[in-house]
Chain A
Amino acid sequence: MSTNAPFTVKGLDHVVIRCSELQPMLHFYCDILGCTVEDKDLDLGLYQVRVGRNLIDIAPIDEKMGSQGGAAPGKDGHNMDHFAIQVEPYDDDAIRAYLTEQGVELGTTAIRGGAEGEGPAIYIRDPEGNTVELKGPPDPAYN
């Protein structure tokens, strides 16, 4: 069924993650993964981190925006299971070595499906327990 919406969806623009402690999150996304803080809205308590063509925004739960969602996220009951970021290049050995050196908790590497097809991906965990998938380019062997 086609929609009669007065717009067409072009893609994701940003995600906003609630957190208990801002600094470890900024360290993880910026110092370790290589994102940069692009903008801060101190009235709202919103820290906007550039991740390629998109943003990952961080909203501490003790500031205005984050507090609207009540309690801190727990270990379970998340509304977002995980999210995936496209990375290039994807060299699994180099990525695992680098992230291990940075003390990041690593999960499995596998060929997984994404927005552009099947390709290598690794699951890691951010300081607040969110699962982040680092996804390499699609591999022609699997597509």
Chain B
Amino acid sequence: MAKSTPPFKMEGLDHLVIRCVDLDAMRHFYCDLLGCTVDRHNTEVDLLQLRAGRQLIDLITVDGVLGRKGGAAPGSEGRNLDHFAIRIDHFDDAALHDYIAENNIEIVEEGPRYGAEGTGPSVYLRDPEGNIVELKGPPDPA
């Protein structure tokens, strides 16, 4: 029997949507500290869309129009997203550590990791709501 194949090809991620409690704290982290920018703020559905390079990180509050549909706020366990990774243009280990320390951001772990473009340096941070965000440098030929 011929197996059906999908009538489309997967091109890549477009956006992800994080449910949060404190939108201002999240916006500060992703914009002021990581350098994302506000792309659009749809106040009708309480959706804040942040530009993260070629993709978007969207934030919705758990008491907002969209966020309410997902029930309770995320707890310390039972999360569906373990972490996500953001590709950064270059990875200057010393400058990155200074910057992270200056801004009192928690480092969860770090080291070379395999990502979409190969193995390269990564540092794992925790955002204000406990989500783990991996900052991933370019693949290292070594």
Interface positions, chain A 1-28, Cβ under 8 Å from B, are 1-18
* Interface mask (B21-59 → A, CB under 8 Å = 1, otherwise 0): 000000000011111100010000000010111111110
Contact among A6, A17, A33, A94 for B10, CB-based, below 8 A: A33
* A140 at the B interface (CB under 8 A): no
Interface of A is mostly: mixed
CA distance A55 to B117 in the complex (A): 9
* CB < 8 Å A-B pair total: 243
The verdict on A111 contacting chain B, using a C-beta distance below 8 Å, is no
Q: Are B11 and A88 in contact (CB under 8 A)?
A: yes
Residues on A with beta carbons closer than 8 Å to the beta carbon of B107: none
A80 and B86 contacting across the interface, CB-CB below 8 Å = no
| Contact between chains at A81 and B79 (CB < 8 Å) | no
Q: Is A127 an interface residue (CB 8 A)?
A: no
- Are B35 and A10 in touch, CB under 8 angstroms? no
Q: Considering the complex, which residues of chain B in the window 79-99 have a beta carbon less than 8 Å from any beta carbon of chain A?
A: 79-92, 95-96, 98-99
Q: Is the CB of A85 within 8 A of B10?
A: yes
Task: Please count how many residues in chain B sit with their CB below 8 Å of the partner chain's CB atoms.
Answer: 72
Q: Given known contacts A16-B84, A55-B116, A71-B77, is B99 in contact with A8 (CB within 8 Å)? A: no
- Contact partner, A51, options B13, B67, B80, B81, Cβ 8 Å: B13
Quick check: A77 and B75 within 8 Å, CB to CB? yes
User: How many A residues, CB 8 Å from partner?
Assistant: 75
Q: Which residue, A5, A73, A74, A135, has most C-beta atoms of chain B within 10 A? A: A5
Given contacts A34-B10, A35-B10, A86-B13, contact A7 B91 (CB under 8 A): yes
Residue numbers of A with Cβ under 8 A of B are 1-18, 32-35, 39, 41, 48, 50-57, 59, 65-66, 68-91, 94-95, 98, 101-102, 113-116, 128-130, 133-135
Taking Cβ atoms with an 8 Å cutoff, the residues of B that contact A are: 4-19, 31-36, 40, 49, 51-58, 60, 66-67, 70-92, 95-96, 98-99, 114-117, 129-131, 134-136
